[in-house]
């Protein structure tokens, strides 16, 4: 482990005038092994990846995190987008701000997305893979693991047209995030965690899920897919289906952690997950020190 500098905050303006809050963390080396841009999941924020960022930076990687629009300290209506493409456009702005020239030469850049962030990352890479050398996904939200009512898609479509800003409870059970009770407690008490979402957001996400799975075979970048076998939020079977459609890139890797819930980086036994990520990124086999999320 090389150690890491203190986080450096940044702000990025979106195309429609919002401000996205983020921060970067760099290793105490002349040049990082690679850049890793983290995209968090729905309802959460970049702060929940502080431990992971510190571990990656200590292993020699530069790590960049930001709050999605409508989340955390970023601007925008809470839990809402008019179009799913707004996430992609925002990500493009962040890339331009924190990864200028990355991908053209060393050090390379990787994109890491969790849950909704995984769906956003897939959509972005399918649209424009540059400047990334690889895509890491943890529990991508390609389909809910719980059963939606049969009319859910029709309702979301109609509501998005008639009352797109109408909001309702997200209904996310924190117990499904991790078997670690401390993780669950912190999530419940976190004032930056969202509790509601809008009809427009739901309709946009359902459409994006279908589109991404249909186009998965177009992915050419190496993909690391990290799944919890007992994930009650993002269907791990849909994650496996995505992986089967990726093709034969020998750098593609699927890891399924038996008994793990949704947040594999915040699970009991998370050290295995971080070590797998570091090895795939090119940091070599590493067993990080156990640090409470």
pLDDT in tens, 170-215: 888 999 999 999 999 999 999 999 999 988 898 899 999 999 999 9
Q: Which residues are catalytic, by number?
A: 115, 231, 262
Q: What is the mean pLDDT of residues 21-35?
A: 91
Instruction: Check whether 19 has a pLDDT greater than 50.
Output: yes
More confident residue, 71 or 30: 71
Q: For residues 25 and 28, what is the distance between their CA atoms, to the nearest angstrom? A: 10
pLDDT band with cut points at 50, 70 and 90 for residue 285 = very low
Q: Beta strands 132-138 and 62-66: pairing type?
A: unpaired
Buried b (16+ CB within 10 A) or exposed e, 119-152: bbbbbbbeeebebbbbbbbbbbbbbbbeeeeeee
Look at residue 133 in the predicted model and tell me its pLDDT. 93
Look at residue 122 in the predicted model and tell me its pLDDT. 98
Q: Beta strands 62-66 and 19-25: pairing type?
A: antiparallel
The whole-model pTM stands at: 0.91
Q: What is the mean pLDDT of residues 242-264?
A: 94
Q: For residues 57 and 67, what is the distance between their CA atoms, to the nearest angstrom? A: 19
- Parse the chain into domains and list their residue ranges: 8-283
Instruction: Check whether 291 has a pLDDT greater than 60.
Output: no
Token pair for 39:
């995209």
Look at residue 289 in the predicted model and tell me its pLDDT. 41
Q: For residues 256 and 268, what is the distance between their CA atoms, to the nearest angstrom? A: 14
What is the tens place of the pLDDT at every residue in 204-231? 999 999 999 999 999 989 999 999 999 9
| Contact of 260 with 38, CB cutoff 8 Å | no
What is the tens place of the pLDDT at every residue in 43-80? 999 999 999 999 999 999 999 999 999 999 999 999 99
Token pair for 283:
């940091």
| Contact of 85 with 15, CB cutoff 8 Å | no
Look at residue 288 in the predicted model and tell me its pLDDT. 45
The length of the chain in residues reads 293
Angle at 170 between CA 146 and CA 164, to 5 degrees: 110
42 upstream amide cis, omega within 30 of 0: no
The DSSP secondary structure of 147-216, one letter per residue, reads: PPPTTHHHHHHHHHHH-TT-EEE----GGGT-S-HHHHHHHHH-TTS--EEEHHHHHHHHHHHHHHHHHG
Phi-psi category of 183—alpha, beta or left, where left has phi over 0 and alpha has psi -120 to 50? alpha
Look at residue 159 in the predicted model and tell me its pLDDT. 56
**Fold assignment, 8-283:** Rossmann fold (3.40.50)
Closest CA to 249 of 276, 282, 224: 224
| Contact of 226 with 136, CB cutoff 8 Å | yes
What is the tens place of the pLDDT at every residue in 125-152? 999 998 999 999 999 999 998 765 554 5
Instruction: Check whether 267 has a pLDDT greater than 70.
Output: yes
Q: Which residues does residue 234 pair with via DSSP β-bridges, in sequence order?
A: 144
């Amino acid at each position: 482990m090389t150690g890491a500098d203190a986080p450096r905050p940044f702000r990025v303006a979106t195309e429609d005038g919002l401000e996205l809050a983020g921060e970067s963390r760099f290793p105490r080396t002349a040049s990082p092994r690679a850049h890793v841009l983290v995209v968090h999941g729905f309802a959460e924020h970049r702060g929940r990846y502080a431990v992971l960022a510190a571990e990656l930076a200590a292993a020699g990687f530069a790590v960049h995190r930001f709050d999605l629009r409508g989340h955390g300290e970023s601007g925008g209506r809470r839990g809402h987008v008019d179009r799913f493409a707004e996430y992609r456009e925002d990500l493009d702005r962040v890339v331009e701000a924190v990864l200028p020239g990355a991908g053209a030469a060393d050090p390379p850049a990787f994109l890491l997305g969790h849950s909704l962030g995984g769906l956003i990352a897939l959509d972005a890479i399918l649209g424009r893979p540059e400047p990334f050398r690889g895509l890491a996904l943890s529990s991508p939200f390609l389909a809910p693991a719980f059963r939606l009512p049969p009319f859910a898609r029709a309702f979301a479509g109609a509501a998005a047209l008639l009352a797109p800003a109408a909001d309702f409870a997200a209904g996310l059970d924190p117990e499904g995030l991790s078997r670690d009770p401390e993780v669950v407690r912190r999530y419940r008490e976190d004032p930056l965690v969202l509790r509601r979402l809008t009809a427009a957001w739901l309709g946009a996400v359902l459409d994006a899920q279908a589109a991404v799975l249909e186009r998965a075979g177009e992915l050419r970048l190496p993909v690391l897919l990290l799944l919890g076998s007992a994930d009650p939020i993002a269907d791990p079977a849909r994650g496996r289906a995505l992986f089967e459609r990726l093709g034969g890139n020998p750098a593609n890797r699927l890891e399924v952690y038996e008994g793990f819930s949704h947040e594999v980086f915040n699970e009991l036994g998370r050290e295995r997950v971080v070590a797998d990520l570091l090895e795939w990124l090119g940091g070599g086999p590493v067993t990080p020190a156990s640090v409470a999320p």
